Amino acid sequence: MPAAPATRKAFTTLSVEHASTVSRVAAELRRAVFEGELESGTPLREIALAESLGVSRPTVREALTVLVAEGLATREPNRGVSVATPRAESVRDVCRARWVLEGAGVQAWESADAVRRQRVRDTLDSYTAAVRGGEASYEELNERHLSFHVSLVELTGSPRLVQMAEALMDELKLALAQVDRLNRNAHDEAESHEGLVELLEAGRLEGPDGAHEFLRKHIEDAEVEIIEALRLE
């Protein structure tokens, strides 16, 4: 029996095909950015992208809006959208803020509940498995890497601090992905993160050889590496 007119009308706003097309275009652009096919500063022209991907300009426009919201692209008046370019002062500021948030998480390790501690272990395992498996994309490595750092902030038990950490990671994800791609150093990063968790598990939080100082040095080194590798100065 055919659906009643009122029922048909109720579904007229649904557009799975269009939404999925926007998602697929955004995913393809995201992949190209993380894999280095689209470098920082590359203009993302709607007409050229629409022709290349075989989709409409409005679809490309919506996909670009997604990338801008994620911090992977920037939109400037009269210049359009381009792949985001990290700036040295922003990298330094993000790393300072990371140190405050993640440092608070490290110091909360002993008072954190078992669920939050296990979350740190699980995100570490996920990241190291992806690194050593050798088949993960730079996008996937980046996501797992940053999830580990957010899990450190989760040790504080503060949803607001976690939300702040996630916003910082969004700012940093493009720069970190580019460094990983240029330096091919994901394996070294995995070992460094394992060293941090070993210190946490051993209860060695303070002192010159403790987890807190280890994390500070790790973030400082990351700041220098990003700025030097991407020639931001």
Highest mean pLDDT among 3-17, 100-114, 170-184: 100-114
The rounded percent of the chain whose pLDDT value lies above 70 is 90
pLDDT for the residue numbered 15: 47
Q: What is the DSSP string of 136-160?
A: --HHHHHHHHHHHHHHHHHTT--HH
Is residue 16 very low, low, confident or very high in pLDDT (cuts 50, 70, 90)? very low
80: which DSSP letter?
E
The fold of the 88-229 domain, in CATH, is Four Helix Bundle (Hemerythrin (Met), subunit A) (1.20.120)
Query: What residue ranges do the domains of the chain occupy?
Result: 15-83, 88-229
Say yes or no to pLDDT of 44 above 50. Answer: yes
The CATH architecture of the domain made up of 15-83 is Orthogonal Bundle (1.10)
Number of CB atoms found within 10 A of residue 210's CB:
16
Which structure tokens are listed for 71? 């911090």
- What average pLDDT does the segment 38-61 reach? 91
Say yes or no to pLDDT of 3 above 80. Answer: no
Instruction: State the virtual CA torsion across 52, 54, 60, 66 in degrees, nearest 10.
Output: -90
Any idea what the Cα angle at residue 116 is, between residues 115 and 122, rounded to 5°?
85
pLDDT for the residue numbered 175: 84
Say yes or no to pLDDT of 8 above 60. Answer: no
Say yes or no to pLDDT of 111 above 90. Answer: yes
CA distance 78 to 57: 18
| Range of lowest pLDDT (56-70, 80-94, 124-138, 175-189) | 175-189
CA distance 52 to 55: 8
| Range of lowest pLDDT (14-18, 46-50, 105-109, 148-152) | 14-18
- What average pLDDT does the segment 179-186 reach? 70
| Range of lowest pLDDT (43-52, 118-127, 135-144, 204-213) | 135-144
- What average pLDDT does the segment 183-188 reach? 66
Is residue 5 very low, low, confident or very high in pLDDT (cuts 50, 70, 90)? low
User: Position 32: which residue type?
Assistant: A
Is residue 58 very low, low, confident or very high in pLDDT (cuts 50, 70, 90)? very high
Contacts of 82 (CB under 8 A, 6+ apart): 41, 42, 43, 44, 73, 74, 76
- What average pLDDT does the segment 88-109 reach? 96
pLDDT for the residue numbered 6: 56
C-beta of residue 127 within 8 angstroms of C-beta of residue 144: yes
pTM here is 0.79
Q: What is the mean pLDDT of the chain?
A: 88
